[in-house]
Amino acid sequence: MAPTFRRETSIISLMLPSSTVENYLKAIYHGEALLASGERLVPMGQVAAALGVTPGTATTMVKALAESGLAEYEPYSGVRLTAAGEKLAGLVLRRHRLVELFLVKVMGMSWAEVHEEGEQLEHVVSERLIERIDDMLGHPTHDPHGDPIPNPEGAITPREFDTLLTCPIGEPLTVTRIADQDPAFLRFIESNDLKPGQSVEVKTRDAAADAVKLQGKNNRVITIGTRAASKLLVEPTGS
Ligand SMILES: [Zn+2]
């Protein structure tokens, strides 16, 4: 019986659970996406905070990743993934996002609840099962939250989207992605008809009042805070 769940992370010579390795790879991957242009390395404090561990623990682990060729670590500066590490992180996200979509579309679970299931299952589903899910769902490009699903090589074609804070005012837009997995926030989005695929238009933005006024489905007008607005990614309708 092949222990398929260890996958390529078994190249790590240390006895580390593959789920731990995968969670570090994901945290660094997401950290890199948040880097300002010109910044190369994700600060170790940020990696530690994302994983809820002490900086010392994070450093020990990141050094092990570096020895395995999955990351580049620079003491006192930070860490970034190598091409091999980036591919593995992409494959974890592929499993996570396909599982989420499967749970919503096939199992009928709420899109607000599936992230936690994805966090667990991303480490244990086999490649065979995930490719079967991919086939069954018709090779989808996005999960229920609008997050892109990496291809079988773990790669994503990057696309830049405006948020409801940065988009043009008074133009028809389509919600593409919700950049927050908190169930309460997702339920708020759902109850206001702002899920990916919905039409929306920004009527006004008032920085002083911390308010963004939107017109959504059936011309319903709602006002949301700027923090919430920054988590809704949109594109011009028809693009
Ligand atoms: Zn998720």
* Ligand 1 centroid – CA 36 distance (Å): 24
Predicted confidence band of residue 2 (pLDDT cuts 50, 70, 90): very low
CA of 209 to the centre of ligand 1 (A): 31
Contact (CB, 8 A) for 12 and 64: yes
How far, in Å, is the centroid of ligand 1 from the Cα of 201? 26
Its pTM stands at 0.84
Report the separation in Å between the CA atom of 187 and the middle of ligand 1, taken as the mean of its atom positions.
14
pLDDT at 62 over 90: yes
- Tell me what pLDDT residue 72 has: 97
Q: HSE on the CB side for 179, CA within 13 Å?
A: 16
pLDDT at 168: 95
Mean pLDDT, the chain, integer? 91
Neighbours of 68 (CB within 10 A): 19
Question: Cα(170) to centroid of ligand 1, in Å?
Answer: 31
pLDDT band of residue 15 (cuts 50, 70, 90) is low
CA 197–ligand 1 middle distance (angstroms): 18
Which distant-in-sequence residues (6+ apart) come within 8 Å of 5 by Cβ? 18, 123, 124, 126
Q: Which helix (H) or strand (E) holds 202?
A: strand 199-206
Average pLDDT, stretch 192-198?
Answer: 95
Distance 62 CA to ligand 1 centre (A): 23
pLDDT at 157: 85
* Ligand 1 midpoint to CA 230 (Å): 18
What's the mean pLDDT in 105-127? Answer: 95
Q: What is the 101 CA–ligand 1 centroid distance (Å)?
A: 9
Residue predicted with more confidence, 156 or 12: 156
Q: How far is the CA of 93 from the centre of ligand 1 (A)?
A: 8
Burial class, 206, CB count within 10 angstroms (exposed 0-12 / middle 13-18 / buried 19+): exposed
Q: Using the mean position of ligand 1's atoms as its centre, give its distance from the Cα of residue 100 in Å.
A: 7
149 C-alpha to ligand 1 centroid (Å): 11
> pLDDT at residue 4 above 80?
no
Q: Is the pLDDT of residue 121 over 50?
A: yes
pLDDT of residue 9 exceeding 60, the answer is: no
